[in-house]
A and B are shown apart, each in its own frame.
Chain A
């Protein structure tokens, strides 16, 4: 059974998260400050850590730094701090994801699942097969016309699939609406083509946990769309 450690100085939040995670079939351990979290991690075999930043005794950032000295388990930071600088700091010191409070419980559960799948199933196994494009947990197998997110199949329409494939083949490259249109529909684009934008939104809704904060398919406003290169 997968064990998840939830660490927050607000007892009610910990309890609520516990309920959601138990519902999904995980075992939950609880800690109320950084020290407790570090102690429990030493004693028990924990697969994932959810940790708050602002806590007494040892805060989330320092606790994460300490844990990272010994362990590589997925760490998701849960924080009321929503500034860009806070997120960047959290991710830079070794957290795998950053969720701001107040969060959508379902989104949180989805992110937990995503991190666990990548950690337990995929690992860092190298991809050798032909015509397979992988970015993070996103995998497009062109031979089977299959799209997998964190190892789970995602159903896309043929146009959506072609758009995603185009972007996956050229990670980091920004495609404008007209470029995408001309490549997929193979005809000249006229103005007022909102179709591409709508398709993109649909793809996002299918492959992203939170379409408003996409991890893979990013919108470059006023320029176009791109798949983020793996960092």
Chain B
């Protein structure tokens, strides 16, 4: 069988339900047993003797009450155990029985027969409403339709009045006793006959004995049974009633029914070990199948992902409410049917209860597995109404325009404020404060984000194009803006990198090309030199050879400068920065160039400070800069003029300038002179590569110095500035 086959799952689910029902039933049965055993665990489930049981005793006590009445009725109505219509009945005795108070008056006797006749008359009279008043007042009732002979004369007297006067009683009290007797005599007769039937030993398993003060049995309904129940004794005014049940149940009555029910109950509930075993098995089985289903839930054999069914797609809160309501309903139904077990055993109740429990188990399993699948698929939170609501709010917030968002937010804030203030007073004020603190925090966060954005923009415009704004803590528009800024800076830095790479490739190309030029150039220079050594008399040929010599030398300089210029402009060189004395450098340079300048009769006029001029620079590159400037002077200065070389210390910086008069008119802009291959003489007749000033400028800038050219007519001036150390 496959790991996640539906049949397997179905079997496990069914087992789970069976175990759950078993567990619940065991709990209910155990509870019922415990209840019946009066909370006594030890006696729980023991098959109690019905004969001595409380329920039977209760039943017998209630029967004893009836017997008490029955015995009194017997006293009143019977003579020698038979109903005697001529038996004299004292009205005061009846009255005292019904009023519940002893009477000292006696002797107002009537025969039963008379009383029955008078009761008929009495009832007829009472059809007249006015008679009620007389009855209550204890007056004689004599109306037209009442015959004259009916003066309710007691035995031995002519009338009630005569009886009263002879015995010295109040007439009204005598009449009242008579009326009570007449009112109740028919009911007494009825009760008597129904009791006679009920306590006839042919109809009941109850045996009673009514004993008088001396313990003599006055009344009974048969002998004491051979198999009696526990005896109940009830003491009344005249008799002590003893009641037992015949446990052989010769007849079928309520007692025998009870005994049968008890017996059946004992059979069903009589084995607590079975139910405790059932309970343990139920719990173990239920939990183990539940855990197994937890593992299986959501998986299917043909897919890796968690599979959700329709139930799992209901929003979490709704599903939770439905399951909880359903669960509670089923639990109460099961308990209410199950609680019947406490008293009686009815198969119908048990079946109904089991049905409820099955439904409850199925519902629980469905709900539980749905929860498991939601957790596994991580949709517990994301499928909730709260989450969906949050998404809707977020979507509206991030997609609505600014006005809608600001206004919406403000209105919400206002509404909440009003509601909180109006609705809750004390607590409301507190919540309102909390809300305001939250709003303040949000505003602060927004401002901080904006500040970050502004700072990022400033840094990027300041030249650090690699700067990235940290957008991880930003929200909504601010985040979008931050990402935008980061994209721009990324693009810029990519473009910069590309251009640097291109420049480096260009340098490599120039270097390689210059290598290839140098090899043939070597041969040219060598063979021109060899030619010069030949003994050539023709001045024309000599002139040609001189041109070749000059041009080949110039080509040599050009290739060397070209490589250097391209390297410098692409930043492809490393500087060795060190402290150096610019004054020393200047003196060294002038020494180097002195004879060159003298050859063109250029007079160098130098002004410089007495102290050292310490700057931080790369000595060799600095030499190259000043050397290029002096070369420039040598090449282009008008012969027989003065060259002014000034070195000055100013605040925090040194200022170096070279001034000379150009031999040729400089009809171009100063900026153009530092462009590569631009020279003052357009004809390009002189030696030099046209790269000198460009190299000097680039090297100066690389060493964090300032390079300035100044042209005024034929005056040519170069200024270098470096920070002093």
Contact = CB atoms under 8 A, between A and B. Distances in A.
B398 interface: no
A210 interface: no
B513 to A, nearest CB: 11
A194 B515 contact: no
B587 A13 contact: no
Given A80-B515, A191-B610, A197 B587 contact: yes
Contacts of B560: 82
Contacts of A80: 514-516, 518-519, 522
B556 A221 contact: no
Most B CB contacts (10 A, CB to CB) among A54, A176, A177, A191 go to A191
A219 B627 CA distance: 14
A102 interface: yes
Contacts of A54: 515
B527 interface: yes
A17 B527 CA distance: 10
A195 B590 CA distance: 10
Interface in B545-594: 552, 556, 560, 563, 580-585, 587-592, 594
Q: How large is the interface on B (under 10, 10 to 19, 20 to 34, 35 or more residues)?
A: 35 or more
Contacts of A13: 519, 522-523, 526
Nearest to A212: B592
B257 interface: no
Most buried by B among A12, A102, A200, A224: A102
A103 to B, nearest CB: 7
A219 B589 CA distance: 10
B582 A101 contact: no
A39 B587 CA distance: 52
Nearest to B555: A102
A196 B523 contact: no
Contacts of B525: 102-105
A219 B584 CA distance: 11
Contact of B515 (A81, A195, A220): A81
A182 interface: no
A1 interface: no
B23 interface: no
Contact of B591 (A103, A198, A220): A198
Contacts of B591: 194-198, 200-201
B584 A177 contact: yes
Interface string B605-628: 010111000000101101100000
Contact of B620 (A102, A192, A221): A221
Contacts of B552: 102
Interface in B116-133: none
Chain B interface mostly: helix
A16 interface: yes
A144 to B, nearest CB: 29
A222 B523 contact: no
Contacts of B84: none
Interface residues of A, number: 34
A10 B523 contact: yes
A199 to B, nearest CB: 8
A201 B524 CA distance: 30
Contacts of A196: 587, 591
A193 B524 CA distance: 42
A223 interface: yes
B523 A223 contact: no
A137 to B, nearest CB: 24
Interface string B485-521: 0000000000000000000000000000011101111
Contacts of A103: 522, 525
A194 B584 contact: no
Contacts of A16: 523, 526-527, 530
B412 to A, nearest CB: 70
Contacts of A105: 525-526, 529-530
Contact of B580 (A12, A20, A201, A221): A221
A154 interface: no
A102 to B, nearest CB: 4
A89 interface: no
A78 B580 CA distance: 34
A191 B608 contact: yes
Contacts of A220: 619
B619 A222 contact: yes
A220 B588 CA distance: 9
A88 interface: no
Contacts of A221: 580, 585, 588, 619-620, 622-623
A54 B515 CA distance: 10
A110 B552 CA distance: 22
A197 B583 CA distance: 13
A224 B584 contact: yes
A222 B526 contact: no
Nearest to B624: A221
A223 B619 CA distance: 8
Nearest to B606: A192
A224 B585 CA distance: 8
Interface in A112-158: none
Interface string B316-337: 0000000000000000000000
A19 interface: yes
B239 to A, nearest CB: 139
A222 B594 contact: no
A102 B442 CA distance: 73
Given A13-B526, A192-B606, A222 B585 contact: yes
Contacts of A197: 587-592, 594
24 contacts: A12-B526, A13-B526, A17-B526, A19-B530, A54-B515, A80-B515, A101-B518, A102-B525, A103-B525, A105-B525, A105-B530, A191-B583, A191-B609, A191-B610, A192-B606, A192-B608, A196-B587, A197-B589, A197-B590, A197-B594, A198-B594, A221-B619, A221-B622, A222-B582
Given A81-B515, A191-B609, A221-B622, 19 more contacts: A10-B520, A10-B523, A13-B522, A16-B523, A80-B516, A80-B522, A101-B522, A102-B521, A102-B526, A105-B525, A191-B608, A191-B610, A194-B594, A198-B595, A200-B591, A221-B588, A222-B619, A222-B623, A223-B584
Closest 9 CB pairs of A and B: A197-B591, A222-B580, A16-B526, A221-B619, A80-B518, A222-B585, A102-B522, A221-B623, A12-B523
